[in-house]
Structure 1
Amino acid sequence: MANAIETVNIRNPGMAWDIVANIHFPPGFDKTKQYPAIISAHPIGSCKEQTSGNVYGAALAKEGFVVIAFDASYQGASGGEPRLIEDPGQRVEDFRQVTDYLVTLPYVDANHIGVLGVCGGGGYSISAAKSERRIKAVVSITGVNFGRMSREGFGGYDPIGTLEAIALQRTIEARGSKSRVDDVLPPSVDAAKQAGVTDIDVLEATDYYKTSRGQAAHGLTSFLFSRRAAALDWDAFHLAEMLLTQPLLVVIGDRPGGFGAYRDGQEIYGRAASKAKELLVLPDTSHYELYDQPEATAKALEKVVPFFKTHLAV
């Protein structure tokens, strides 16, 4: 039997919009008891109904956790205008807002809150934990530092040129012209191959997001170009040697692609100040297999579940 799920709207003081989230409840949930909670963060261009919720959120709920999978501000069912903004500062602030909500729930043990993020959500989870001390344990699943990615592959390895183009586009839009929205993926795997794409991450991302395999109504892979500047000026791992002290588990596959999760995982494992930290490198596993493929996700969860049970005192 599937776990019970409740959709909630989170509005905190100082916010002009709601964050919309799905709460996944454990079997036999009893609202008079207290449970450890996990915040589950979706990838860049994804939504709460995809891997963060329907794979990792559902699996962790079955293990006794209350799991809240939320849509980022400006994306999915959450509010914020204009749409399709990927702002790292706001993405990190969303974690604080969701944590504020969790600590008001009588069935959540406010002293035992963890966070899990997939892809860009992994990088954001790490960044949030550096300054949000209510987060007690961190799991990054094939996590990506979106700042590094924006300066490199998403910025044509020309960050200054990209920033100049963004500045020009923002001026054009401020003067009343139509917004520029970029889809960062090809329309299909066949189209990608015909265009000469060979990178495993691009091909597998297209297979996940553009087919019934992972497609979801709010799982868009498009971004407002004029609002991308903040990402180029950001680093998920800044001061990790000083501030990231919570227990940390980094899960990556050993088949690296252009999005850089393998190198980012190795880097943050080495840099984190955490005394309790683990790096799980799954053999013959790619970035997108860790989104939803049963063998890869099962191997990840074999490590993730006991990690959270140890550090969140289940």
Structure 2
Amino acid sequence: MKTVKIRNHDMYWDIAADIHFPPDFDTSKKYPAIISAHPIGSCKDQTSGNVYGVALAKEGFVVIAFDRSFQGASGGEPRSIEDPTQAVEDFRRVADYLVTLPYVDEDRIGVLGICGGGGYAINAAMTERRIKAVGAVTGANYGRLMRGNFTALNPIAALEAMARQRTAEARGEAVKVDDLLPPSPEEARRLGVTDRDTLEATEYYRTPRGQKPNGLNRSVPSHQAAAVGWDAFHLAEVLLTQPLCVIVGDQVGAFGAYRDGCEIIERAVSKKKELVVLEGWSHYDLYDKPEPVGQALAKLVPFYKENL
């Protein structure tokens, strides 16, 4: 593995990324490449890199797992912003970097996104034609979440609060940063949290199982308004033509990856598309648990080998 910093002409900061190489890597050869995108509030050191990145590299792909702008080890201020426009643009920036590498075949670049990274990967592929194949593991449409459960089903009230907070910060108040999760699974249960996805997210991100220094699960309310008006699947009926593989578990929770997977498979104009439903597994099982991850890879590896 090699850690790199990516700077494009349209940026004032670097994007941090880890490149995972295949066994017996030879710089004189050309390899298919996969851009791997992390979940909402996560980082490249969690599932996108240390699980799927490592596994796909072992199968012969050059995999680049990156931190989105404002998150992880990448630059951008304020920290912890989840900006869909910048998130999608980061895929282009990473693709720009890949096509400069002599060992990457520019005609065989794919994407993989986990959770919100899946929604971003799907959206990026619609207008970034260097992407030739699209994979999503428990992919979620962040815009739909921001109009739904993430704003208590009242997006207008949430937008009004965001506007007030942004005004306060413009007048000199400190930037407000929220924790998206309770500090521990025990605290989540004490608070009466019952939703499967929220409980399992806390168990993943707030325990040694998935905890990483850069995977903070924080949000900046004053910079969330754009996400409320964004839709990962907008124009999929016209622009999403690449081969598409979407993997979800059938144990559903409030984050809605199952319904998003069904929706994008129905709407995509891709001639080759498949929804894979893994029975008995949930959103966060697919992050790192060996059995469901193995089932997901059993679909993803042949998918990428066929289409890249």
Pairwise TM-score range, normalised by the shorter structure: over 0.9
Partner of 1:227: 223
Partner of 2:58: 62
Residues 173-252 of structure 1 correspond to what in structure 2 (within 5 A)?
173-252=169-248
2:92 equivalent among 90, 96, 108: 96
Q: Which amino acid aligns with 1:41?
A: A
2:105 equivalent among 103, 109, 121: 109
TM-score norm. by structure 2 comes to 0.99
Partner of 2:49: 53
After superposition, the C-alpha distances for 1:143-166 in whole angstroms (9 at most, x for unaligned) are 000000011111111100000000
What is the distance in 1 between the residues matched to 2:10 and 2:175? 27
What is the distance in 2 between the residues matched to 1:178 and 1:105? 42
Question: How many residues are paired up?
Answer: 308
1:14 equivalent among 10, 16, 37: 10
Partner of 1:265: 261
| 1:18 Cα deviation from its structure 2 partner | 0.5
Structure 1 residue runs of 5 or longer lacking an equivalent are none
Residues 133-144 of structure 1 correspond to what in structure 2 (within 5 A)?
133-144=129-140
- Structure 1 counterpart SS, 2:95: helix
| 1:179 Cα deviation from its structure 2 partner | 1.4
Q: Which amino acid aligns with 1:269?
A: I
Q: Which amino acid aligns with 1:235?
A: D
Q: Which amino acid aligns with 1:42?
A: H
| 1:180 Cα deviation from its structure 2 partner | 1.0
1:84 aligns with 2:80: yes
Q: Which amino acid aligns with 1:281?
A: V
1:279 equivalent among 250, 256, 275: 275
- Structure 2 counterpart SS, 1:51: coil
What is the distance in 2 between the residues matched to 1:200 and 1:223? 21
What is the distance in 2 between the residues matched to 1:188 and 1:270? 37
What is the distance in 2 between the residues matched to 1:214 and 1:177? 33
2:127 equivalent among 114, 124, 131: 131
| 1:196 Cα deviation from its structure 2 partner | 1.1
What is the distance in 1 between the residues matched to 2:85 and 2:175? 22
- Structure 2 counterpart SS, 1:97: helix
TM-score norm. by structure 1 comes to 0.98
- Structure 1 counterpart SS, 2:102: coil
Partner of 1:158: 154
| 1:199 Cα deviation from its structure 2 partner | 0.5
- Structure 1 counterpart SS, 2:60: coil
What is the distance in 2 between the residues matched to 1:14 and 1:215? 32
What is the distance in 2 between the residues matched to 1:181 and 1:18? 22
| 1:81 Cα deviation from its structure 2 partner | 1.0
Q: Could you tell me the percent identity over the aligned residues?
A: 67
| 1:195 Cα deviation from its structure 2 partner | 1.2
| 1:57 Cα deviation from its structure 2 partner | 0.3
What is the distance in 2 between the residues matched to 1:53 and 1:86? 19
| 1:88 Cα deviation from its structure 2 partner | 0.2
- Structure 2 counterpart SS, 1:213: coil
Partner of 2:285: 289
1:33 aligns with 2:29: yes
- Structure 2 counterpart SS, 1:83: coil
What is the distance in 1 between the residues matched to 2:6 and 2:218? 24
- Structure 1 counterpart SS, 2:255: coil
What is the distance in 1 between the residues matched to 2:64 and 2:158? 35
After superposition, the C-alpha distances for 1:55-80 in whole angstroms (9 at most, x for unaligned) are 00000000000000000000000001
What is the distance in 1 between the residues matched to 2:235 and 2:41? 26
User: Where do 4+ consecutive residues of structure 1 move more than 2 Å?
Assistant: none
| 1:30 Cα deviation from its structure 2 partner | 0.2
What is the distance in 2 between the residues matched to 1:59 and 1:118? 14
Structure 2 residue runs of 5 or longer lacking an equivalent are none
